[in-house]
Amino acid sequence: MNSMNDSGVGTGTASDRTSRTHRLRGLAGTGFIATLAAMVATTLAAALAQAVGVDFEVPDGGETIPLSGFAVVTGLFSVVGIVMAVAFLRWSARPAERFVWTAVSLTAISLVPPLLSGANTATTTALLGLHLVPATVMIPTLAQSLRTRID
């Protein structure tokens, strides 16, 4: 994008920097809207699971996961996804492909803790599903946004 001369000073034009800043901000804005959607979808899915009898009690400590906990954790990791997407847009030649590969891999890894939690079958199944809900919102949204923002 920007070439460097021997002095180490970037020679890109101001419009190049403005365009890049606009792309990054647009991606972040899209990501934050998707984050809100993922938080709502995950919390509603958790509430529905609770309504049909899933207790979300994790034996390691014996505490029940509150609905607000699903929203907070979904928001936190969705923001991590946005940061990853911005980094790929900024520094990768193929940002959408790299983002999807990384995000899907991290989603698969996130499925391990519920399986190891020792919770009952209903809770484990619900937690696995609740890991996939925000992934189905965030990954396609950010990948599409990355594809539309490439030079």
Q: Which contacts qualify for 101-105: CB closer than 8 Å, 24 or more apart?
A: 103/135, 103/138, 103/139, 103/142, 103/143, 104/135, 104/139
Query: pLDDT tens digit string along 74-119?
Result: 999 999 999 999 999 999 999 999 999 999 999 999 999 999 989 9
Better-predicted residue by pLDDT, 61 or 35? 35
Q: 26: closest CA among 71, 81, 77, 85?
A: 85
Q: Are 31 and 81 in contact (CB under 8 A)?
A: yes
Pairing status of strand 57-58 against strand 63-64 = antiparallel
pTM here? 0.85
pLDDT of residue 120: 94
pLDDT of residue 1: 45
| pLDDT at 47 exceeding the cut of 60 | yes
Task: Provide the 3-class DSSP secondary structure of residue 63.
Answer: strand
